[in-house]
């Protein structure tokens, strides 16, 4: 065979290979709905292309046992998470995640966020804008809850404050509970009536009784006197050795939140007194004001 004939055959074989690659690419584009005009382009060989501008490369399926990336946004990896690692936060603190690039598929983004608290805390997402999503607890974080957040390989581990403080205001007839400075509960309450005012000041929880008998004779008032009493009381939390408690008072729920009718104690509904009893600890602070 002459040199001229060899070059002609070689050129013809290359044309066949190129035409075959174009045919495959156009067929693939037709399946995916892509429209294209392809200029002549030199190798690389197929697969691994694209050989033609505008035709995507073949992407292999995820290996067995590995989930594909839920969403892919250039620059969205390594988002910012607050609270940051090691932070101590209040009981109403949201989790804020900020991406570098606007997120189009918000559901996929939410599904990729893993929040792992040490206590079961339901909550929900709220998008502030296209790059900022917030997760909020439905009610509050319990005291001392440890929380780990993982988003696209970025991790933050923080903790909820163990500071549990209550403020009873006799003038507004409210009993407010704070965790780490955040208000997590506000209860209607009744305080000491005129002549039996609750003491103003800052007190520590001394002891707790799920059930007890309160007897006015223990501080010198006979139970048969007009101001005497002997009552079975639930969820009693002592704040002074002189007999001031936060306790359930189902008999005064009609006054709780609007008037003061007790003999000095802080009256709450049975449900609210139980919540306080279950969450407060000895040594926690109870402040009373406005009495």
pLDDT tier for residue 235 given thresholds of 50, 70 and 90: very high
User: In sequence order, what are the beta bridge partners of 182?
Assistant: 179
Q: Hey, is 21 helix, strand or coil?
A: helix
CATH code for the domain in which residue 239 is found: 2.40.440.10
In a domain, 21, yes or no: yes
Asked if 50 and 56 touch (Cβ cutoff 8 Å), the reply is yes
Q: Which of 94, 76, 101 is nearest to 152 (CA)?
A: 76
State the DSSP H helix or E strand holding residue 235, giving kind and residue range, or none if neither. strand 230-238
- Which of 94, 125, 160 is at the close of a domain? 160
Q: Which of 204, 198, 196, 205 is nearest to 171 (CA)?
A: 198
For residues 180 and 131, membership in a common domain is answered with no
* Rounded-to-integer distance, Cα 110 and Cα 123, Å: 12
* Rounded-to-integer distance, Cα 9 and Cα 126, Å: 66
In a domain, 272, yes or no: yes
For residues 154 and 171, membership in a common domain is answered with no
CATH code for the domain in which residue 133 is found: 2.60.40.3710
Tokens of 197: 């005012």
- Which of 143, 160, 177 is at the close of a domain? 160
Kindly report, residue by residue over 20-56, the tens digit of the pLDDT. Answer: 333 333 333 333 333 333 334 444 433 444 444 444 4
108 φψ region: left (φ > 0), alpha (ψ -120 to 50), beta (else): alpha
Q: How many other CB atoms sit within 10 Å of the CB of residue 169?
A: 16
Percentage, residues of the chain above pLDDT 90 = 63
pLDDT tier for residue 230 given thresholds of 50, 70 and 90: confident
pLDDT tier for residue 177 given thresholds of 50, 70 and 90: very high
pLDDT on residue 76: 54
In a domain, 71, yes or no: no
DSSP string, 54-108: TPPPP-PPPPTT-PPPS---TT-SS-EEES-TT-EE-TT--EEEE-SS--S-HHH
- Which of 160, 179, 197 is at the close of a domain? 160
Domains held by the chain: number: 3
pLDDT on residue 122: 94
Kindly report, residue by residue over 125-175, the tens digit of the pLDDT. Answer: 999 999 999 999 999 999 999 999 999 889 999 999 999 999 999 999 999
In a domain, 70, yes or no: no
In a domain, 67, yes or no: no
In a domain, 74, yes or no: no
In a domain, 66, yes or no: no
β 132-137/201-204 pair status: unpaired
Kindly report, residue by residue over 191-216, the tens digit of the pLDDT. Answer: 999 999 999 999 999 999 999 998 88
For residues 222 and 151, membership in a common domain is answered with no
Tokens of 230: 């002997």
In a domain, 213, yes or no: yes
For residues 153 and 53, membership in a common domain is answered with no
Tokens of 243: 């007999």
Sign of the dihedral through C-alpha 106, 107, 113, 117: positive
For residues 21 and 124, membership in a common domain is answered with no
Whether the upstream peptide bond of residue 256 has omega within 30° of 0, thus cis, is no
For residues 37 and 98, membership in a common domain is answered with no
For residues 169 and 269, membership in a common domain is answered with yes
For residues 194 and 125, membership in a common domain is answered with no
pLDDT tier for residue 73 given thresholds of 50, 70 and 90: low
For residues 222 and 276, membership in a common domain is answered with yes
Widest pairwise Cα distance in the chain: 132
Q: How many other CB atoms sit within 10 Å of the CB of residue 243?
A: 15
> Any idea of the CA torsion for 189, 193, 194, 198, to the nearest 10 degrees?
-70
φ, ψ for residue 74 (rounded to 5)? Answer: -55, 130
For residues 8 and 99, membership in a common domain is answered with no
The pLDDT of residue 115 is above 60: yes
Range of the domain at 117: 80-160
Catalytically annotated residues: 247, 265
For residues 150 and 240, membership in a common domain is answered with no
For residues 219 and 264, membership in a common domain is answered with yes
Q: What does the pLDDT average to over 64-73?
A: 44
Q: Which of 12, 74, 19, 10 is nearest to 52 (CA)?
A: 19
């Amino acid at each position: 065979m002459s040199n001229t004939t060899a070059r002609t055959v070689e050129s013809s074989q290359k044309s066949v290979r190129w035409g075959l690659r174009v045919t495959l690419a156009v067929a693939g584009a037709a399946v995916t709905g892509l429209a294209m005009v392809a200029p002549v382009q030199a190798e690389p060989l197929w697969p691994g292309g694209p050989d033609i501008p505008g035709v995507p490369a073949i992407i292999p399926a995820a290996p067995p046992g590995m989930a594909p990336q839920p969403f892919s946004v250039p620059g969205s990896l390594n988002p910012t998470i607050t609270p940051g690692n090691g932070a101590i936060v209040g009981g109403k603190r949201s989790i804020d995640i900020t991406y570098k690039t606007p997120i189009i598929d918000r559901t996929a983004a939410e599904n990729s966020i893993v929040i792992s608290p040490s206590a079961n805390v339901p909550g929900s997402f709220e998008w502030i804008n296209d790059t900022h999503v917030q997760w909020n607890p439905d009610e509050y974080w319990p005291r001392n809850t440890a929380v780990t957040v993982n988003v696209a390989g970025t991790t933050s581990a923080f903790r909820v404050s163990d500071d549990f403080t209550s403020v009873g205001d006799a003038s507004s007839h409210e009993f407010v509970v704070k965790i780490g400075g955040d208000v997590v509960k506000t209860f209607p309450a009744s305080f000491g009536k005129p002549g039996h005012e609750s003491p103003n000041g800052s007190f520590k929880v001394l002891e707790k009784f799920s059930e007890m008998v309160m007897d006015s004779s223990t501080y010198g008032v006979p139970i048969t006197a007009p101001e005497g009493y002997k009552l079975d009381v639930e969820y009693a939390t002592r704040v002074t050795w002189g007999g001031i408690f936060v306790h359930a008072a189902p008999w005064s729920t009609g006054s709780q939140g609007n008037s003061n009718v007790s003999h000095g104690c802080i009256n709450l509904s049975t449900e609210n007194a139980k919540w306080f009893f279950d969450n407060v600890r000895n040594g926690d602070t109870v402040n009373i004001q406005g009495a």
